[in-house]
Structure 1
Amino acid sequence: MFHLKRTLCIFLVFLVSCFSSIVNADQSTMDRISNTGEFRIAVQTQGPPVSFIDKNGKRTGLAIEMARTFADEMGVKLVIKDYDWKGLIPALISGKVDMIAADMTPTPKRHMKMLFTDPAFFSEVVVFAKKDKNITDWKSLNSSDYSIAAAQASSYATQARKKLPDAKLKEYSGATPQVVQSVLSDRVDAGVGDRAALSGFLKQNPELEIVGSLHKEPLSFAVRPDSVHLLLALNNYLRLIRYDGRHEKMLDYWWNSTNWQKDHD
Structure 2
Amino acid sequence: MKLSKFLPAILLSCAGFLGAAATAHAGTLDDILKRGELRVAVQTQGPPFSMMDKKGERTGSSVELAKLMAQEMGVKIVFLDLDWDGLLPALISGKADLLAADMTPTLARATKVAFTKPWIFIGPVVATKEGSKFVSAAACKAPGAKIAVLFGSTGEKLAKTLFPNGEIKSYKGGGTLLLDAVKNGQADCLLNDNTAVIGQAAGYPKGTFKVMPELLAKESLAYATRYDSMDLLTWVNLFIDQTTLDGRLQKNLDYWVNSTKWKDEH
Which range, TM-score by smaller chain? 0.7 to 0.9
Equivalences for 1:50-199 in 2 at 5 Å?
50-199=49-198
Q: Which residue of 1 aligns with 2:5?
A: none
- 1:245 matched residue in structure 2: 247
How far off is 1:26 after superposition? 7.0
Any idea what the Cα deviations from partners look like across 1:22-41, whole Å, max 9, x if unmatched? Answer: x8467421121011011000
The structural deviation recorded for 1:197 is 1.6
CA distance in 2, matches of 1:134, 1:221: 38
Q: Deviations over 1:99-155 (max 9, x none)?
A: 110011010111111110110112221000012223233133234421110111011
- The Cα offsets for residues 157-200 of structure 1, whole Å up to 9 and x where unpaired, read as 12212222221111112224111100000001011112222224
Q: Which has the larger radius of gyration?
A: 2
2: CA distance, partners of 1:159 / 1:25? 41
- RMSD over aligned Cα, in angstroms? 2.0
- Residues 239 and 133 of structure 1: CA distance in aligned 2, closer, same or farther (over 3 Å): same
Residues paired across the two proteins, number = 248
Q: Which runs of 4+ in 1 moved over 6 A?
A: none
CA distance in 2, matches of 1:83, 1:99: 13
Aligned partners of 1:119, 1:232: CA distance in 2, in Å?
13
Name the structure with the higher helix share. Answer: 1
Partner of 2:225: 223
Task: Name whichever structure is richer in strand by fraction.
Answer: 1
Measured in 2, the distance between the counterparts of 1:214 and 1:111 equals: 23
**Aligned residue in 2 for 1:5:** none
Paired AA for residue 49 in structure 1: P
Distance 1:86 1:246 in 2: 30
Partner Cα distance (1:196, 1:149) in 2: 17
Q: 1:207 is matched with which residue?
A: 208
Percent identity between the aligned chains?
39
- SS where residue 213 of structure 1 aligns? coil
The aligned residue for residue 4 of structure 2 is: none
Q: Give the aligned partner of residue 259 of structure 1.
A: 261
Distance 2:215 2:90 in 1: 31
- Residue 207 of structure 1: CA displacement? 2.3
Q: Distance in 2 between matches of 1:200 and 1:105?
A: 17
TM-score by length of 1: 0.88
CA distance in 2, matches of 1:67, 1:162: 34
Single out whichever of 127-136 and 182-191 deviates more from structure 2. Answer: 127-136
Q: Counterpart of 1:230 in structure 2: which amino acid?
A: L
Per the normalisation by structure 2, the TM-score is: 0.88
Q: In 2, distance between residues paired with 1:169 and 1:140? A: 15
Aligned mates of 2:144, 2:30 — CA distance in 1: 55
Deviations 1:178-234 (A, max 9, x none): 111000000010111122222244332412111343212100000000100000000
Quote the Cα distance in structure 2 between the aligned partners of 1:218 and 1:118.
9
Unaligned 5+ residue runs, structure 2?
A: 1-12
